[in-house]
Structure 1
Amino acid sequence: MPASERVPEVGLTPVTEALTHGELTVRGRIREASNAVLYCETVHEGRTLACVYKPVAGERPLWDFPDGTLAQREVAAYLVSEATGWGLVPPTVLREGPYGEGMVQLWIEAAQDGEGDGDGGADGEGAPQLLALTDVGEPAPGWKAVVEAQLEEGRSALLVHADDIRLRRLAVLDAVINNADRKGGHLLPAADGRLYGIDHGVTFHTDDKLRTLLWGWAGEPLPAESVTVLEALYAELSGALGERLRELITEDETEAVRARTGRLLRTGIHPVPSGEWPSIPWPPV
């Protein structure tokens, strides 16, 4: 069934409308990706946007994610992000393109050192560093420990991430969508101070597969803001949001999203590694 029939166009913004209905032109290919990722432009009503197009035809099958497509899960992750109100995933749609149906996502230009307003950063200046390795045994103020990393020549270092509210919101979102691949390279701080997460193709599994570099808050109480957001999300998953997700992921996966959200509310804490699944993605960057 065509994407336009499978996912109702509900609440399109000017950006998602341009991504959905614009004339899509391929400008290049991002070769570092394991699946086909094309850099494109979409033109709609005189507006030109840079975007990423990931055709389903260019996906490599995953034995542990046999249902649906990477593209569908990417769109589902965007819908859940939008429901939180945090806007952590760039605008993402499912549509036909030059190489068939695929995911089209707004291109986010990552801020360089010295750019941005520094909002929420660890040092408050420019585009903040979000991940680091340190030789000391304990993280410095403003940082959270993740794991001890083994380096060359038998040396070890502590992997840390910034104690940043934007990262913390992303950690909550990842727990909801069961993100199995939150690498450092999937974090995009923009010049306007916002932080985006990308590459959500391996999400929404019914089994616990959370694998992330954002374990610094594991076991800590959820912020009051997150509890409020999760309560609203839990309700929406029984309504229109749940119906839209069922068009993209399976019934069981949709129910698992609601179950994970409910579990976060019951425990009131950030999840901890289960020990049944590698907790850190590889490679981490």
Structure 2
Amino acid sequence: MCDSDIEEKLTNFSVKSIREIRNGTNKVFLCEMFGNHEEKILAVYKPIKGERPLSDFFTGNLSLRELASYEISKFFGWPNLPPLVIRDGPFGIGSFQKFIDHDPKNNYFNLFNDHQEKLKLVIIFDSIILNTDRKAGSIILDSQNKIWAIDQALTFNPYTRLRTVMFEYNQMKISEDIISQIKFLIQQLEDKGDIYITLSELLSKEEIDSLIERTKSIQRKQKIPSLDPYYNVPYPLI
């Protein structure tokens, strides 16, 4: 099933059951959603009303940031982010993201050795979107041995810093192919192409300008940014 089909289901299916996932700062729910002929999809629902105040992010726009992250991943075709939409739900407007079935015992730390190239795409992506919260548990593996990145809401704020557990990639060189794709993103943003129009509905002009400058820096240096273990670490690690 392609991403657009999943997005359509997330947008139009009805929520039939819901239970809270109690492992984060904000309110998060696992939903069963049903369409015609009882076709079902599981989704993670994060209502805006369930956001708790943070010192470095405005309350009420985390869903927009997570959708902006997803749109950039679609632009590149990497890394793998579960399809996501914003719509009304049982507790008001929020994000609905396809639930990826996975073993919660697996995370970045024990997946690194077998998935280094796919994980490298995640840290490049995080450097672009300025992810302030890449914990080990936000890297998951599905039953088809496919790596997914989840929880990209704390992103794009130019007054924060990259926080990650992925220090194995510190200042690692980025391939010419990926640099070419990054350059194309810059061109599309500066030319106000489709991706710019999409992001302008989700982020402030200042955040998009910062995105462009940050991405230009990555393109120019052709390597993953320098990471300081005393400065660029999330809490908790998992």
TM-score (norm 2): 0.89
Identity of aligned residues (%): 29
Equivalence for 1:138: none
Q: In the alignment, does 2:60 pair up with 1:65? A: no
Deviations 1:166-223 (A, max 9, x none): 1100000000000000001101111112211111121001135100011212222112
Residue identity opposite 1:95 in structure 2 = R
Equivalence for 1:282: 235
Equivalence for 1:100: 92
RMSD: 2.3
Cα deviation for residue 28 of structure 1 reads: 1.0
After superposition, where does 1:151-162 map in structure 2 within 5 Å? 161-162=112-113
3-state SS of 1:27 partner? strand
3-state SS of 1:82 partner? helix
Q: In the alignment, does 2:223 pair up with 1:269? A: yes
Q: Which runs of 5+ in 2 are unaligned?
A: none
> Partners in 1 of 2:103 and 2:183 — Cα distance?
33
Runs of 4+, deviation exceeding 3 Å: none
- Tell me if structure 2 keeps the 8 A contact 1:37–1:52: yes
Equivalence for 2:22: 31
Cα deviation for residue 266 of structure 1 reads: 0.7
> Partners in 2 of 1:274 and 1:241 — Cα distance?
31
- Tell me if structure 2 keeps the 8 A contact 1:41–1:48: yes
Q: In the alignment, does 2:109 pair up with 1:131? A: yes
Distance change in 2, residues 1:35/1:245 (3 Å): same
Q: In the alignment, does 2:12 pair up with 1:21? A: yes
Equivalence for 1:213: 165
Cα deviation for residue 87 of structure 1 reads: 4.4
Cα deviation for residue 273 of structure 1 reads: 2.5
> Partners in 2 of 1:82 and 1:12 — Cα distance?
9
- Tell me if structure 2 keeps the 8 A contact 1:93–1:103: yes
> Partners in 1 of 2:23 and 2:104 — Cα distance?
20
Larger radius of gyration: 1
- Tell me if structure 1 keeps the 8 A contact 2:104–2:140: no
Q: In the alignment, does 2:145 pair up with 1:202? A: no
Deviations 1:58-78 (A, max 9, x none): 000212112751111111111
> Partners in 2 of 1:61 and 1:26 — Cα distance?
27
Distance change in 2, residues 1:219/1:252 (3 Å): same
| Larger fraction in helix | 2
| Larger fraction in strand | 1
Equivalence for 1:252: 206
Aligned residues: 233
